[in-house]
Amino acid sequence: MAVKMRLARAGAKKKPFYQIVVTDGRNKRDGRFIEWLGKGAQPTDTVKQILKKAGIWEKFVSVAA
């Protein structure tokens, strides 16, 4: 099972917002997700950019190492 961090779409029509979720890579975009990060989750490129911009990526990488 490949665990991925990805964006899940929510919000009203034409007014979307996205939440970062952790899910099995085979699930649909807004399908089932895991409640917490866990070990070995690989972020998609978009999620990685968001985490870097927020300054969270460095903390995530240092904990994983």
Kindly report the CATH number assigned to the domain that includes residue 40: 3.30.1320.10
| Containing structural domain, residue 40 | 3-64
Rg (CA), the chain: 12
| Closest-CA residue to 45 (of 9, 11, 12, 4) | 4
Q: What is the DSSP string of 20-60?
A: EEEEETTS-TTS--BSS--SS-EE-HHHHHHHHHHT-HHHH
Per residue in 3-53, pLDDT (tens digit) is 778 888 889 999 999 888 777 767 666 666 565 655 567 788 998 898 888
Domain count for the chain: 1
What's this model's pTM, rounded to 2 decimal places? 0.61
Answer yes or no: are the C-beta atoms of 42 and 48 closer than 8 Å: no
